[in-house]
């Protein structure tokens, strides 16, 4: 086999998720992931630093996309509408990836260390969103509160979207979750 | 000295926070904490499992208090008002503890492992609040979204309350933060 394997990165990620689901994350080795993907360990380490990185590979790109959409929302948009634009943008990334997302979530939920990593990722996303809002001229504490509200919608909307019986696209679930958040905070 | 030391628990916690601030959390030993408090290591371990527990000692009680207040809010209260009652209840615990809270926060922020632990604590609190709201008959996703909104207010309000120049009591900061959250979500 040549040095460059077609879609090695994607094949390794798919093989890893399968094995984490079948045997558990802790019990799976990089050698097994490479073998399942029909690739070498060396190829694995050309793409990922370790078996944990396979799961968090897209996190940085996702945060950047979310922040970029908030930053580029029309100047006239209210902070919560800039966040809504960000939710629309990230939802597009998940089109066609519901089953993958379900598998990934099941692996994360089963492992305390991975859950910690996920919480840190989400906290970093919230900080990034608050920063983007401040750069739009939103004062504190409005910027942090709006960012946290956006992240609440993302977290709860994501859980709804990966539920067994759910068939709506993520963008729609996020819009409805944001509407619901507005409703519950307005009802007091 | 006798087996029972007056306020050993509080003296150990105070000594620990001082040392974590002076030398760093990682560099501080249980022996040093005990010595600073004028107590023995044995006494330390009668009160705390390890040096980390000193920092997270009150977390479970705080969550229970928050959940209890949400549970016991008037039946007619809207979900967000039940959360507001919870915020009032937890704020009482922090009266007179601003300097202690500032010191604790500085230690947590300086250490990745402690930050992870803090995020897990907050996620657990959110899950506990959502559960309390469901037991009040609030449907999903409203229960989870309201719980996340409440936690957003708690997190952001806490940061405001420990800021250097802040003099308002926590209960007031929390009320104003909740009002601000309502304003930012209503503005879209």
Residues B135-176 pLDDT 10s: 999 999 999 999 999 999 999 999 999 999 999 999 999 999
Alpha helices in chain A (DSSP H): 8-23, 30-36, 41-47, 53-56, 59-71, 79-93, 98-109, 112-135, 142-161, 170-186
Both tokens assigned to A50: 């370790």
Give the CATH fold of the B58-186 domain.
Answer: Tetracycline Repressor; domain 2 (1.10.357)
CATH superfamily of B8-54: Homeodomain-like (1.10.10.60)
User: Per-residue pLDDT tens for B32-91?
Assistant: 999 999 999 999 999 999 999 999 988 999 999 999 999 999 999 999 999 999 999 999
Alpha helices in chain B (DSSP H): 8-23, 30-36, 41-47, 53-56, 59-71, 79-93, 98-109, 112-135, 142-161, 170-186
Name the closest residue on chain B to residue A84, using Cα atoms.
Answer: B188
Q: Please name the member of B80, B148, B160 whose beta carbon is closest to the beta carbon of A141.
A: B160
User: Per-residue pLDDT tens for A51-105?
Assistant: 999 999 889 999 999 999 999 999 999 999 999 999 999 999 999 999 999 999 9
What mean pLDDT, rounded, does chain B reach? 94
Supply the ipTM of this predicted assembly.
0.90
Using the beta-carbon criterion (under 8 Å), do A78 and B144 form an inter-chain contact? no
Distance from A82 to chain B by nearest Cα, in Å?
Answer: 9
Contact between residue B95 and residue B169 where contact means Cβ atoms under 8 Å apart: yes
pLDDT > 70 fraction of chain A, expressed in percent and rounded: 97
CATH superfamily of A8-50: Homeodomain-like (1.10.10.60)
Q: Where are the domains of chain A?
A: 8-50, 58-186
Measured distance CA(B28)–CA(A8) in Å, rounded: 46
Using the beta-carbon criterion (under 8 Å), do A180 and B145 form an inter-chain contact? yes
- B121, B144, B150, B182: best to mutate for the A interface, most A CBs within 10 A: B144
- Phi and psi torsions of B97, nearest 5°: -115, 25
Contact between residue A134 and residue A101 where contact means Cβ atoms under 8 Å apart: no
CB contact A153 to B (< 8 Å): yes
Q: What distances in angstroms separate CA A139 from CA A77, A179, A182, A184, B136, one per listed residue? A: 15, 23, 20, 24, 35
Which residues 58-77 of A have a C-beta within 8 angstroms of B?
none
């Amino acid at each position: 086999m040549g040095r460059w394997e077609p879609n090695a990165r994607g094949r390794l990620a798919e093989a890893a998720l399968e094995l984490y689901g079948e045997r558990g994350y802790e019990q799976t080795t990089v050698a097994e992931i490479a073998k399942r993907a029909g690739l070498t360990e060396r190829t694995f380490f050309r793409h990922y630093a370790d078996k944990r990185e396979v799961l968090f590979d897209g996190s940085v790109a996702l945060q950047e996309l979310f922040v970029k959409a908030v930053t580029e929302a029309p100047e006239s948009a209210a902070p919560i509408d800039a966040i809504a634009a960000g939710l629309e943008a990230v939802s597009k990334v998940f089109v066609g990836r519901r089953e993958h997302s379900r598998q990934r979530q099941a692996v994360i939920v089963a492992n305390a260390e991975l859950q910690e990593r996920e919480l840190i990722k989400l906290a970093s996303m919230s900080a990034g969103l608050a920063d983007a809002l401040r750069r739009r001229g939103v004062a504190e504490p409005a910027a942090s509160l709006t960012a946290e509200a956006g992240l609440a919608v993302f977290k709860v909307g994501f859980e709804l979207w990966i539920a067994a019986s759910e068939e709506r696209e993520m963008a729609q679930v996020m819009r409805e979750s944001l509407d619901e958040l507005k409703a519950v905070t307005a009802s007091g």
